[in-house]
């Protein structure tokens, strides 16, 4: 029952975040999109020209995958980790000297810390590999907008 309640709470917290909106550059035009698939929709053309439809290209797969990974890491993992840290800390605070609850809270906090380190280390290893093969660049936008991610994929999309 506790696991079901936790799943319902996490789903309720994540529901507003599931719009998967994003943006990417097509030449010199910034394309804003909503939904999971970033192509096949009418967008404003360059220089205030009429709307054009962006045909799906191979690069759109990387845009979609990058948006999904950024959402999972920055939209789900961080709030879930904070929630579990609060739960672990509350268990330790309200244990009232019960060694079982103190140990359980301590184990939750350790597990969350180890999990976060593994997730972000894997993210950085894959991103560094993509940088090494020339498919991604480091981005300085991480300090302004946490949803932009650490890497920006380089692939040419034509309108």
Distances 47 to 11, 28, 41 between C-alpha atoms, Å: 41, 10, 18
Q: Which residues of 122-157 are buried (b: 16+ CB within 10 A; e: fewer)?
A: ebeeebeebbeeeebeeeeeeeeeeebbbbbbeeeb
Q: What is the pTM of this model?
A: 0.65
Cβ 149 vs Cβ 17: under 8 Å? no
Q: What is the pLDDT of residue 114?
A: 96
For residue 136, pLDDT over 90 is answered with no
Rg (the chain; Cα; Å): 20
How far apart CA 48 and CA 29 sit, in angstroms, is: 10
3-state SS, residue 13 = helix
By three-state DSSP, how is residue 50 classified?
coil
Residue 20 has pLDDT above 50, yes or no: yes
More confident residue, 87 or 153: 87
Tell me: the pLDDT tens digits for 40-92?
Answer: 666 665 565 556 667 777 777 777 777 777 778 877 888 889 999 999 999 99
pLDDT for residue 96: 85
pLDDT (0 to 100) of residue 13: 64
In 25-98, alpha helices (H): 58-70, 78-93
Higher pLDDT among residues 60 and 125, named by residue: 125
Q: CA-CA distance, 79 to 146, in Å (whole number)?
A: 13
């Amino acid at each position: 029952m506790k696991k079901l309640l936790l799943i319902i709470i996490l789903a309720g917290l994540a529901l507003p975040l599931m719009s998967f909106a994003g943006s990417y550059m097509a030449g010199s035009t910034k394309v804003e999109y909503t939904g999971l698939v970033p192509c096949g929709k009418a967008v404003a053309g360059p220089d205030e020209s009429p709307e054009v439809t962006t045909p799906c290209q191979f690069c759109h797969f990387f845009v979609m995958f990058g948006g999904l990974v950024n959402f999972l890491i920055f939209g789900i993992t961080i709030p879930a980790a904070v929630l579990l840290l609060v739960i672990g800390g509350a268990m330790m605070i309200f244990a009232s000297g019960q060694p079982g609850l103190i140990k359980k809270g301590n184990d939750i906090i350790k597990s969350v810390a180890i999990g976060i380190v593994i997730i972000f280390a894997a993210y950085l290893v894959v991103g560094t590999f993509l940088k090494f093969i020339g498919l991604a660049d480091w981005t300085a936008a991480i300090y302004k907008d946490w949803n932009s991610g650490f890497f920006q994929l380089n692939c040419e999309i034509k309108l």
